[in-house]
Amino acid sequence: MAYHSPYRAHPQGNPPVDQSFLWNIFQRVDKDRSGVISDSELQQALSNGTWTPFNPVTVRSIIAMFDKENKGGVNFNEFAGVWKYITDWQNIFRNFDRDNSGFIDRNELKQAMTGFGYRLSDQFYGTLIEKFDRQRKGQVAFDDFIQCCIVLQRLTDVFRRYDTDQDGWIQVSYEQYLSMVFNVV
Amino acid sequence: MLCHGWAVKPQINITIYGAVQLQNDQKTVTARTVPVSGRGDGGGFVCGSHKILGHCFYIWVTLRFLTGWGNVPPGVNPEAYQWFQTVDTDQSGFINLKELKQALVNSNWSSFNDETCLMMINMFDQTRSGRIDLFGFSALWNFLQQWRAMFQNCDRDRSGCISGTELHQALAQMGYNLSPQFCEMLVQRHGVRGRNFGIQLDRFIQVCTQLQSMTQLFKERDTAMVGNIRLSYEDFLSSAITRLM
């Protein structure tokens, strides 16, 4: 099965971060002192290592993941999750970005995805690079890499819900197909 | 037009002018008044001995705007040409995501969301550089005009946003056979809470464009026209990824 055990939970393995260290960061990111870090505050604080603004869509996806009350931002408790999520992705990304260029190419992307359990064709990796390469370099930057993984994970989840016999194929009606895709993107 | 559509976001010192006029008579605010006055913040580069020069530049821009003076390349909508100069704030000859986002507002004065701006840039980026040149912008201009007209048409109660019922009626008119529940789901997902709950113009454009693209894909696959398609995992992934972003 192509998608038997693709990458699921957040990357594991980092020791818990010191609270006072986190509080320090939280206060610096929370520029308007509202107690909640908004999309734009987080975007300004994040760097993708290439001197271009962090992908706003990625920021929105991450905030939405941790923002439990739908308040359009994260409080200190939720920020701990955001911090861990991003640093864990950073470690993964660094493993594949061997030359430290801030980008990973098609082969590296394939290695990463294969490591997460995805089994996809070379042609498909071409599509992924084409779609998630915002800077048009033929490679994927850190922020776009996270976004790519989030989208793949959500699409896989929704596909699996419909593929009840788990044979890697689904049969869907027009409206089912539309709601599958609209719920993800 | 500001009430039921999109507009170039006015700069600080003319916001009041635009807003006052908007309240007095919403229909008299034309597309031209805002950007012409928007150049009023030319003060940004007016400093010291360059003051007179800057002033001349401001008058020149205003004149050019009022008279339509300038060399409009063939195939470019003259109105789009004028807007392009205003939206291209760094004068690079290209519109990037930030410039486009700053330029477009919904009827509740919120900026267009990033996803819709990114989608439109991808659609009209003929140079494959992540930015739009003048020709792409001209096509985008026409695209926006059409959707704005459609949006106004769908917004039957003139609330400035599209409700589930309005969306259902509108999509049926466009030829989509979708259930009221599905339309309601779209509004719940993309709607904005305010005085009236509904979809703003940016989400309306995003939803309709995606719907168009997904429907086309479905029709291509449903060759026997039975209303069902069979998709493999990878096929599903690539269809969603290539069509939607």
pLDDT tens-digit readout, B72-88: 888 899 999 999 999 99
Proportion of chain B above pLDDT 90, given as a percent: 53
Q: How many CB pairs under 8 A join A and B?
A: 98
Report the domain count for chain B: 2
ipTM of the complex: 0.84
List the domain range (segments joined by +) for residue B226: 161-244
**Per the domain annotation, does B155 fall within a domain?**
no
Residue A38 pairs in a beta bridge with A73
Chain A, nearest residue to B181 by Cα: A175
- Residue range B6-26: mean pLDDT, rounded: 35
What the block records as the tokens of B220 is: 């291509």
pLDDT of A104 reads 92
Q: Is the model's pLDDT at B17 over the cut of 70?
A: no
**Per the domain annotation, does B156 fall within a domain?**
no
For chain B, which residues lie within 8 Å of any Cβ of chain A, measuring from their own Cβ? 97-98, 114-115, 118, 128-130, 177-179, 182, 185-186, 189, 207, 210-211, 214-215, 218, 222, 227-234, 236-238, 240-245
User: Same domain for B125 and B214?
Assistant: no
pLDDT of A13 reads 54
**Per the domain annotation, does B153 fall within a domain?**
no
pTM value is 0.74
Put simply, the answer to whether B234 touches A136 (Cβ < 8 Å) is no
User: Same domain for B40 and B140?
Assistant: yes
Query: Last residue of some domain: B82, B111, B146?
Result: B146
pLDDT of A185 reads 66
User: Same domain for B176 and B137?
Assistant: no
**Per the domain annotation, does B176 fall within a domain?**
yes
User: Same domain for B123 and B175?
Assistant: no
The span from the CA of B29 to the CA of B3, in Å, is: 10
User: Same domain for B141 and B65?
Assistant: yes
B115 versus B39: the higher-pLDDT residue is: B115
User: Can you state the angle between helices A122-132 and A106-116, rounded to 10 degrees?
Assistant: 110
Residue B199 pairs in a beta bridge with B162
pLDDT of B108 reads 86
pLDDT of B235 reads 94
Chain A, nearest residue to B219 by Cα: A174
User: Same domain for B124 and B31?
Assistant: yes
Query: Helices marked H in chain B — which ranges?
Result: 12-24, 33-38, 51-67, 78-87, 97-103, 114-124, 134-154, 164-173, 180-190, 201-221, 233-244
The residues, ordered by sequence, that sit 6+ positions from A49 with a Cβ below 8 Å of its Cβ are A102, A141, A142
- Token look-up 């923002």 returns A67
User: Same domain for B116 and B229?
Assistant: no
User: Same domain for B199 and B121?
Assistant: no
pLDDT of A53 reads 86
Q: Nearest by CB to B182, which of A134, A156, A175?
A: A175
- Residue range B159-172: mean pLDDT, rounded: 94
Put simply, the answer to whether B232 touches A184 (Cβ < 8 Å) is no
Q: Is the model's pLDDT at A164 over the cut of 50?
A: yes
Put simply, the answer to whether B241 touches A169 (Cβ < 8 Å) is no
Q: Nearest by CB to B234, which of A53, A56, A121?
A: A121
Question: B165 vs chain A: nearest CA distance in angstroms?
Answer: 17
B195 versus B54: the higher-pLDDT residue is: B195
The span from the CA of B83 to the CA of B136, in Å, is: 13
pLDDT of B145 reads 94
**Per the domain annotation, does B152 fall within a domain?**
no
A3/B contact by beta carbon, under 8 A? yes
Q: What is the mean pLDDT of chain A?
A: 87
Put simply, the answer to whether B227 touches A182 (Cβ < 8 Å) is no
pLDDT of A6 reads 45
Q: pLDDT band at B65, cuts 50/70/90?
A: low
User: Same domain for B138 and B95?
Assistant: yes
pLDDT tens-digit readout, B91-149: 999 999 999 999 999 988 889 998 899 889 988 988 878 899 999 999 999 999 999 99
Query: Last residue of some domain: B98, B119, B146?
Result: B146
Domains in chain A with CATH codes: 19-183 (1.10.238.10)
Put simply, the answer to whether A134 touches B130 (Cβ < 8 Å) is yes
A15 versus B14: the higher-pLDDT residue is: A15
User: Same domain for B114 and B185?
Assistant: no
pLDDT of B201 reads 95
Put simply, the answer to whether A127 touches B222 (Cβ < 8 Å) is no
pLDDT of B16 reads 28
User: Same domain for B94 and B194?
Assistant: no
- C-alpha dihedral, B221 to B227 to B232 to B237, nearest 10°: 80
Put simply, the answer to whether A53 touches B98 (Cβ < 8 Å) is yes
pLDDT of A1 reads 41
**Domain CATH number, residue B15:** 1.10.238.10
**Per the domain annotation, does B126 fall within a domain?**
yes
Residues 19-78 of A with CB under 8 A from B: 53, 56-57, 60
Mutate to test the interface with B, among A174, A175, A180, A184 (most CBs of B within 10 A): A174
The residues, ordered by sequence, that sit 6+ positions from B202 with a Cβ below 8 Å of its Cβ are B6, B104, B106, B112, B113, B116, B117
Chain A, nearest residue to B226 by Cα: A173
DSSP annotation of B232 reads E
The residues, ordered by sequence, that sit 6+ positions from B54 with a Cβ below 8 Å of its Cβ are B42, B43, B45, B46, B47
Question: A101 vs chain B: nearest CA distance in angstroms?
Answer: 20
User: Same domain for B170 and B134?
Assistant: no
Query: Last residue of some domain: B146, B180, B206?
Result: B146
B67 versus B188: the higher-pLDDT residue is: B188
Q: Nearest by CB to B218, which of A127, A159, A177?
A: A177
A184 versus B68: the higher-pLDDT residue is: A184
DSSP secondary structure, A123-138, as one string: HHHHHHHHHH-TT-SS
- Residue range A1-20: mean pLDDT, rounded: 57
